[in-house]
Structure 1
Amino acid sequence: MTTERRTEHIPSGRSRTHPLAPPAWLLAGLRPGSAPVPWAAAARAGIAMAVPLAVGFALDEPEYGALVSMGALAGVFGDTADAYRMRVLNIAVPQAFGAVGVAVGTLVYGQGWLAVAVLTLVALVSGMVSSIGTVASVSGLLLLLNAVVGAGLPMPRPWWTAPLLLTAGGLFVLLLTLLAWPLRGRQPERAAVAATYRALADALEACGGPQAVYDERRRDVTQALNQAYDLVLGRRARVHGRSPSLVRMLAQLNVLIPIAEAAPAAHLRGRPLAAEIPAAVRELAAAVEEGRTGTPALALPAPHTPSERAIDSALRHAAAIVHLAEPDPYNVDDRLGRPAALRVRARHGVRDMMLSEASWRYGLRLALCIGLAQSLVSLVEVERSYWVALTVTFVLKPDFGSVFSRAVLRALGTAAGLVLAAAVLAEVPRGWWDVPVMMVLAALIPVFSAKGYAFQTAAITPVILLLSDQLNHEGFDLILPRLLDSLIGCAIVLVAGYLLWPESWHTRIGDRLADAVDDAARYVERAFAPVADDAELRAARQSRLQARRRIYRDLSGVRSEFQRALTEPPPTGDRAAAWWPLVVAVERIVDATTAARVRVNHGAGPPAAGEVERIARELRELAERVRSDRMPIRVDTPPEPAEAGVLAPVHHELAAARAIADPS
């Protein structure tokens, strides 16, 4: 082991720059993402929002067309899933919440302080609902957004007209989304499984090479596995009985796990694998994507070491399963367990929401900001005041990133969007010309959303202004009030939603990382737990696999929290950056444990008596140290342990982690 393996790039973006240059945390938010252009989503968005507007003009009811387009805009927000069944949930469920929201807002339109009280209560419910999960988060967002719009804009009468029109727009997006379902019903799941094989091939190709490259490829495998299991198991939870196609995809995913387990052992050898091995995995990816069956033809080199034997055995078994037309439906385990029925998960989600301190805290935080925004515009004359509360809602959304940076990026994105909106409102005649303009602007929303929050805001702003103009007919006079309202909303969030809540200034990485270290201790114990017979061996292996997958999921969550914290201004972002080496160290401890288990399975000697217990005890001590310390101190050259045997790499990585957490 060399100290060169311990050198790790910390993606904090906090390098020394010119004194007048913008801060790194702001530049991180303004740097466009590298995601590919979602052409299909862009086309759907353009059609879904332009067609209702055209129908409204044709029927001489432009207000109705604008409301349907607003509902379509909400559907465009929810059209983010890959699997078609998930798209139904992601679009349809939030539409129902949005319909309730606009109905409530319409009923309190022009009611003064009653509207303030009702919107504050809706904000509390919206914030709490958002904590349940992804679909609930979008649902809570639409509940509050539509309530604010209904309370701030004159809606057609009777009261049920606006909910009906908005829902029609969302259902139109859903219809466009599902047009390809008969032809591509299982394609998203199959493509996700194939992508996992390709990610694993890249990781095998990186074995024996630079540590940083291998770590990145292994994380790509974890992300691909998470996505594929989520898609396949999520669909299986809604299928009664055993679906042969889903069983086959689940079996193809499961046989990847032994190869992924053997990869760390191969990497620790320090020599690249034969090129035929990653090439064979890529060939299996093509077979998965094309649905090929038959007899596989593998040309693999003869294995010599325990890690090579492990990969060879796992790869040959994977090839047999991939090409098998009908795997045994009762011999396929779910690794992470089959998800509970949707109604059961919903019931548990509501129960957890009501009992969660974090859920109540976020709900109260959002309610406070919305209450202040609505109180302000009730006391001070602000034109079209609904925009203030809309800004608060978008900025304070919990799963969009840092509150502080979002407030700043929202102001910048709104300013950029208003420049485009000003050009449209000043130069484009109102009427039928709005239809092609809307088609272009709406198509930009999915494209810009993939680039970052500021870009998404810049794309959405002119669309909302154009639709609002169909309802209030203010034209160019909308521009400056909207900028002022956005700045007011951002200021409310920064004060009442950020500065008044000390938890906003601290990162949760330490606590979440400590939980992952505790899980790693349990994983070490499970990996080398004694077994009495074959049945216990199978149960122990499955338990170990589940534990390992959960650790990597937890660490993925830590990484997401880390990236969010880096967009915070100092000192929060700097504190988060200090945790990075320890995140990497914990991942390597899990990898080294897996590699040791693979070596033992293929001929290496078992650990010495008491060695496993000692490692688990040291990991739990490390977890306690992480919980008690405010911030780790990074060191570049950890001590080399003198341990020998199959667990020597684990001792090395554990010593490195302990040195990072407490170099004294």
Structure 2
Amino acid sequence: MATRPSRGLHWGALFRVDPGRPAIGTGLRVAAAITVPLAIGLGAGHLTMGAAISLGALNVAMVDSGGPERTRVAVLSTATVVNAGVFALGIVAAHTLGLAVPLMFAVAFAGGLLTVYGRVASIVGFVTTVVYTLGLGFPPGQLTAPEALWLALVGGAWAMILALGLWPLRPYAAAQNAVAACYVAVGRMVAGACAPGTSAATTGRASRSARDALGTAHATLRATRFGRDGESAPGRILAALTESAGVLLEVSEGLAEDLIDRGRLGSTATLVREVGEHMGRSLRSVGSAVRAGGPSDLTSTEAAVSDLSEVVGKLRAEVSRGAGDATELAALRPVISSFRHLMNEAGEAAALAAGLHGGALGPSARRLVEPAGAVVDGTRRRGRADPWVVLTRNLTFDSVAFRHALRYATVTAIGVLLFLGLDLPKGYWVALTIAVILKPFAGITLQRTLLRIGGTILGALLAVAITASVRSDWGTVLVMVPLAIVGFSLQPFNYGLWVIFFTPLVILTTEVAHPGQWTLAGWRIADTLIGAALALAGSYLLWPESSRPTARRELVTAVTANRAYFCAVMRRYVWPGPTTEGLGGPHRAAALAADNVEADLQQLLGERPRGGDLVARYWRLVGSNRGVYGALTALESHLRTFTGRHRLPGLPELCHGLDAALGDLASALGADRPPAPLPALDAALAAVRDHLAEVELARAGERAAVPAGPGGRPADTDCTPLVEELRDESLVAVEAERLVRRVTAMHSALAGG
């Protein structure tokens, strides 16, 4: 996969703001969280206590990243308690070098390893590390450990009141609107393509409009996710919804092509138009559900597709007797297949939209958005991963999270040893700088280092200017309001500008009660430079990683692991003796590889916030890889009820082709070359579809031939061989089709299509 050369880093990046609307609400909320306790403390004559409460509120406010209220309550409550504990621990440990250093290692290692549980947990881990260093650096003798504990708890509670009651956070609102627009555009395209008299030019314009909406959704979601150290549930759901919209658009374009020669449909053209209208309305309702919540209306579309399927089944029976129109049947087959694809994908999108607004995700939707570790050895625990299993799976040097946690802990501990051992003035800024800028990959660490150094120097000078010109404590508190509003409003768009405003904010908060401390601003700059040097040394010397080569290497590993998992699962369907025994190893390997490649995507977004061809391709590859993994977990679960007494024609050939395709994709990624043409997957997939259609038709005939039972209902025929065959083969056919779509999407992304 060819990549464009990096344009390098330059100091202009310090002031460059990426497109987007500033998060003014977040800035106002943080400003209130910090300044209100300071003002109360100042008025009550206990400014030190007010400063401790403000620090507690600031650190808890930084953890809030939006999402369902129940999740936010749990996260903010946990952060409040944990941060209060480590702040008090830092106050106690600051007096003993032998205690402060190992505790720093333990806190930082735990904080770094929390990235295995997703974005929210990674933020909690990062803020916990920062709070401990602030405890180490808090002016000695000002607070006892119990005082620090309860003051930080009060600050966290104040931040929770603001976040949950007064200032609800909606960081994904712009992304929701952009993704919703995709479904609306695709819905209009489907309805237009099925309407009589629609020209190819009109359909083409609708297709381009939908593709533009999809591109906007990708760009908006990239901007939303940029700068985040991990991924949250809303982010994963929106990413899955965007990928689903892409699949819907591709299927809709195929449907439009099948409907170009509308005259071949004969008497069913009206029914096709009605199904298209229902499908369009359903997709638009999914868009509304993504944007604002509420149910998606799929019922009428399901009935319309079912009616069309029944018509196709009758026509197939007539053609088999020599009485029907074979031309009409040939024209209808791809159309009904496309409608079924659209219906299945719309159902998954509707479930995802419900989950985005706090509803329950169905099993199929959960497979698309849960971290790969959510299914271990084929066992699903209430839809969530066993935390202990996820943790132990990552306690290996093969895990990106483990290597980063060990590096993070080692370098921060060295920073604490240095500043306490040498008694550096304001030396806690050494460890604070390391905690903020050290990232899993060398490239993003270098970028953060340069922005951190430049921002800290300018921010420290700004703090000097403020404290030199503002002589009253009340004036200092008032100046902190615009600093917080501007800094946190711009944080999603430029890390350097955020540091410029965040630095004086922390200086003024920690030392507003200690006049004269601002004269040590020069030491802060020196400590920042020392911390930056240690962070860079650790990044390049301790298990160095750069996200670009690592991204490709991890993706090769993920595709290879999925291929091995695919072979292990599918041989149970092709040969007798279905069993899940022996699938644990391939499953775990594929899960770990999927975790790592998702982490690499997040880091690549950080290194290339403006996106570009590399990020767009990698996004599609990672999303499709996740889809392959999800399909395989469904097929593994189905093995528990699969009898193995029925053979699905075309499946062996399809498995052989998919195996060859996955192998070539891994090879092409590793060799940085275009992939070879795909094997003939469509022919094998058509054989699977045709056989399943024949079984469905035979089952319909079986039900029709059974005399009516009591009450006029058909007698029970739920235990016949045809029923058993449908139960065996229906899910296999659906997931096989999904595998083909995902592998085709990976091939297209790698080939530059």
Q: Deviations over 1:275-313 (max 9, x none)?
A: 977676335533773748999999x99997666545656
Q: Which residue of 2 aligns with 1:285?
A: 287
Instruction: Tell me, in whole angstroms, the C-alpha distance in 1 between the residues paired with 2:420 and 2:44.
Output: 36
Deviates more, 1:359-368 or 1:338-347: 338-347
Instruction: Tell me, in whole angstroms, the C-alpha distance in 1 between the residues paired with 2:47 and 2:69.
Output: 32
* Aligned pairs (5 A) from 1:20-59: 23-24=8-9, 31-59=16-44
Instruction: Tell me, in whole angstroms, the C-alpha distance in 2 between the residues paired with 1:125 and 1:295.
Output: 45
CA contact (8 A) 2:554 2:593 kept: no
Instruction: Tell me, in whole angstroms, the C-alpha distance in 1 between the residues paired with 2:83 and 2:510.
Output: 17
Q: Which residue of 2 aligns with 1:335?
A: 365
2:183 equivalent to 1:200? yes
Query: Aligned in 2, Cα 1:658/1:526: closer, same or farther, shift over 3 Å?
Result: farther
Instruction: Tell me, in whole angstroms, the C-alpha distance in 2 between the residues paired with 1:478 and 1:232.
Output: 42
Q: Which residue of 1 aligns with 2:484?
A: 442
Deviates more, 1:140-149 or 1:277-286: 277-286
The AA in structure 2 aligned to 1:86 is T
The AA in structure 2 aligned to 1:162 is A
Instruction: Tell me, in whole angstroms, the C-alpha distance in 1 between the residues paired with 2:27 and 2:486.
Output: 7
Query: Aligned in 2, Cα 1:120/1:228: closer, same or farther, shift over 3 Å?
Result: closer
Q: CA RMSD in A?
A: 5.6
Q: Which residue of 2 aligns with 1:3?
A: none
Q: Which residue of 2 aligns with 1:171?
A: 157
* Aligned pairs (5 A) from 1:108-123: 108-123=93-108
Q: Deviations over 1:364-421 (max 9, x none)?
A: 3223322332333345453211111111111114499811211111112212322432
1:557, distance to aligned residue in structure 2 (A)? 5.2
Query: Aligned in 2, Cα 1:366/1:554: closer, same or farther, shift over 3 Å?
Result: closer
The AA in structure 1 aligned to 2:60 is G
Query: Aligned in 2, Cα 1:510/1:330: closer, same or farther, shift over 3 Å?
Result: closer
Q: Which residue of 2 aligns with 1:239?
A: none
1:344, distance to aligned residue in structure 2 (A)? 7.1
* Aligned pairs (5 A) from 1:289-438: 289=292, 291=294, 309=336, 333=363, 335-336=365-366, 340=381, 345-352=386-393, 354=395, 358=399, 359-380=401-422, 382-398=424-440, 402-438=444-480
Structure 2: gaps of 5 or more residues: 190-204, 260-272, 309-330, 375-380, 579-589, 631-647, 687-739
1:435, distance to aligned residue in structure 2 (A)? 2.6
Residue of 482, 497, 500 corresponding to 2:524? 482
CA contact (8 A) 1:208 1:270 kept: no
Query: Aligned in 2, Cα 1:646/1:346: closer, same or farther, shift over 3 Å?
Result: closer
Report the TM-score when normalising by structure 1: 0.69
CA contact (8 A) 2:137 2:428 kept: yes
Q: Which residue of 1 aligns with 2:250?
A: 264
Instruction: Tell me, in whole angstroms, the C-alpha distance in 2 between the residues paired with 1:211 and 1:285.
Output: 13
1:481, distance to aligned residue in structure 2 (A)? 1.8
SS in 2 for 1:414: helix
Instruction: Tell me, in whole angstroms, the C-alpha distance in 2 between the residues paired with 1:121 and 1:254.
Output: 35
CA contact (8 A) 2:658 2:681 kept: no
Query: Aligned in 2, Cα 1:193/1:434: closer, same or farther, shift over 3 Å?
Result: closer
Instruction: Tell me, in whole angstroms, the C-alpha distance in 2 between the residues paired with 1:384 and 1:343.
Output: 43
CA contact (8 A) 1:284 1:322 kept: yes
2:55 equivalent to 1:70? yes
CA contact (8 A) 2:429 2:524 kept: yes
1:55, distance to aligned residue in structure 2 (A)? 0.7
Instruction: Tell me, in whole angstroms, the C-alpha distance in 2 between the residues paired with 1:331 and 1:384.
Output: 49
Instruction: Tell me, in whole angstroms, the C-alpha distance in 1 between the residues paired with 2:361 and 2:63.
Output: 36
CA contact (8 A) 1:30 1:452 kept: yes
1:511, distance to aligned residue in structure 2 (A)? 3.4
Alignment: residue pair count: 583
Q: Which residue of 1 aligns with 2:79?
A: 94
Instruction: Tell me, in whole angstroms, the C-alpha distance in 1 between the residues paired with 2:477 and 2:528.
Output: 26
1:176, distance to aligned residue in structure 2 (A)? 1.4
Percent of counterpart pairs with the same letter? 21
SS in 2 for 1:150: helix
1:59, distance to aligned residue in structure 2 (A)? 1.0
CA contact (8 A) 1:120 1:368 kept: yes
CA contact (8 A) 1:97 1:142 kept: no
The AA in structure 1 aligned to 2:152 is L
Q: Which residue of 2 aligns with 1:465?
A: 507
Q: Deviations over 1:461-498 (max 9, x none)?
A: 11101012225433541322211211111011111333
Query: Aligned in 2, Cα 1:374/1:448: closer, same or farther, shift over 3 Å?
Result: same
Instruction: Tell me, in whole angstroms, the C-alpha distance in 2 between the residues paired with 1:197 and 1:550.
Output: 32
2:98 equivalent to 1:81? no
Query: Aligned in 2, Cα 1:644/1:207: closer, same or farther, shift over 3 Å?
Result: farther
Instruction: Tell me, in whole angstroms, the C-alpha distance in 1 between the residues paired with 2:657 and 2:127.
Output: 49
Q: Which residue of 2 aligns with 1:244?
A: none
Query: Aligned in 2, Cα 1:130/1:587: closer, same or farther, shift over 3 Å?
Result: closer
The AA in structure 2 aligned to 1:42 is G
CA contact (8 A) 2:415 2:430 kept: yes
Q: Which residue of 1 aligns with 2:672?
A: 632
Query: Aligned in 2, Cα 1:67/1:271: closer, same or farther, shift over 3 Å?
Result: farther
SS in 1 for 2:545: helix
SS in 1 for 2:65: coil
SS in 1 for 2:426: coil
Instruction: Tell me, in whole angstroms, the C-alpha distance in 2 between the residues paired with 1:526 and 1:193.
Output: 36
Instruction: Tell me, in whole angstroms, the C-alpha distance in 1 between the residues paired with 2:443 and 2:286.
Output: 37
Q: Which residue of 2 aligns with 1:161?
A: 147
Which structure shows the higher helix fraction?
2
1:641, distance to aligned residue in structure 2 (A)? 8.0
2:192 equivalent to 1:150? no
Q: Deviations over 1:540-561 (max 9, x none)?
A: xxxxxxxx99999987655434
Query: Aligned in 2, Cα 1:554/1:645: closer, same or farther, shift over 3 Å?
Result: farther
SS in 1 for 2:473: coil
Q: Deviations over 1:179-216 (max 9, x none)?
A: 169xx89x999999887543333456587449985874
Q: Deviations over 1:502-523 (max 9, x none)?
A: 3358732123322443477577
CA contact (8 A) 1:209 1:271 kept: no
The AA in structure 2 aligned to 1:453 is Y
Q: Deviations over 1:221-249 (max 9, x none)?
A: 9999x999935999xxxxxxxxxxxxxxx
Instruction: Tell me, in whole angstroms, the C-alpha distance in 2 between the residues paired with 1:583 and 1:331.
Output: 23
Instruction: Tell me, in whole angstroms, the C-alpha distance in 2 between the residues paired with 1:334 and 1:35.
Output: 33
CA contact (8 A) 2:94 2:137 kept: yes
* Aligned pairs (5 A) from 1:123-272: 123-153=108-138, 154=140, 156-179=142-165, 196-202=179-185, 208-209=207-208, 216=215, 230=233, 261-268=247-254
Q: Which residue of 1 aligns with 2:268?
A: none
CA contact (8 A) 2:605 2:615 kept: no
Instruction: Tell me, in whole angstroms, the C-alpha distance in 1 between the residues paired with 2:337 and 2:363.
Output: 21
Instruction: Tell me, in whole angstroms, the C-alpha distance in 2 between the residues paired with 1:435 and 1:447.
Output: 19
The AA in structure 1 aligned to 2:287 is A
Instruction: Tell me, in whole angstroms, the C-alpha distance in 1 between the residues paired with 2:134 and 2:116.
Output: 23
Structure 1: gaps of 5 or more residues: 1-7, 16-22, 235-249, 537-547, 595-605
